[in-house]
Amino acid sequence: MRQEGFIYTVLLCATLLWCFAILAAPLFIVSDGFLQSSSEFLYHFFGRVCHQFDERSFHLDGQKLAVCARCSSIYFGFFLGLLSVPIFRRRPAMPFPPRWILFAAVLPMVLDVGLAVFNLHESALWTRALSGGVFGLIVSYFILAGFLAAFRRDSDDCQSATAAHF
């Protein structure tokens, strides 16, 4: 139990740090010296995982976030998902949710992108944010369950998979 709490806290802190870095990039860019250099590095760093198009990004203080609206929503949704675990469960130990939930979580994003490619729907900032947020929120449960199962001493994740209810 204590080990599970530790793993949960580490994952939560890492996600918080990641989300803070996304917000720090636009906040620090207007500064000078070390903070501005840090901001430039953060934009460069996150440029590896996102296109960072200005018109597809949320803005903070007039500057775009370090990643686009969809990516921001995925990461912040992931963070919120992790935060919500103790609210819905008394302890973070949890069985693996059934895999159809994972596919269902991807579906809004696939529809948003796919329909926009075929000009059947216009992907807007809010549709990107909503579909990404739903995915991030749900996938956090899978990732946390995977970490907990991996580090659980008695490694009973196969057993708990049978009781896969959510």
**Least distance between another protein and beta carbon 121 (Å):** 18
**Least distance between another protein and beta carbon 64 (Å):** 14
Kindly identify the residues of this chain, within the stretch 93-132, that bind another protein according to CB under 8 A.
Answer: 96-97, 99, 102
CA-CA distance, 140 to 2, in Å (whole number)?
Answer: 20
Exactly one of 3, 31, 37, 155 binds another protein (CB under 8 A); that residue is: 155
Length of the chain as a residue count? 166
Point out which span in 1-9, 27-35, 42-50, 87-95 binds another protein (CB under 8 A): 42-50
Closer of 7 and 28 to another protein (Cβ): 7
Closer of 117 and 150 to another protein (Cβ): 150
71 binds another protein (CB under 8 A): yes
DSSP state for residue 94 in the 8-state scheme: -
- Listed in sequence order, the residues at least 6 apart from 37 whose beta carbon sits closer than 8 Å to its beta carbon are none
CA-CA distance, 154 to 37, in Å (whole number)?
Answer: 47
CA-CA distance, 60 to 27, in Å (whole number)?
Answer: 7
65 binds another protein (CB under 8 A): no
The closest of 157, 143, 155, 160 to 11, measured between CA atoms, is 143
Q: Determine which helix (DSSP H) or strand (DSSP E) holds 59, and give its type and residue range.
A: strand 59-60
Binding positions for another protein, rule: CB under 8 A: 44-45, 48-51, 70-71, 74, 96-97, 99, 102, 139, 142-143, 145-147, 149-151, 155, 157-159, 161-162
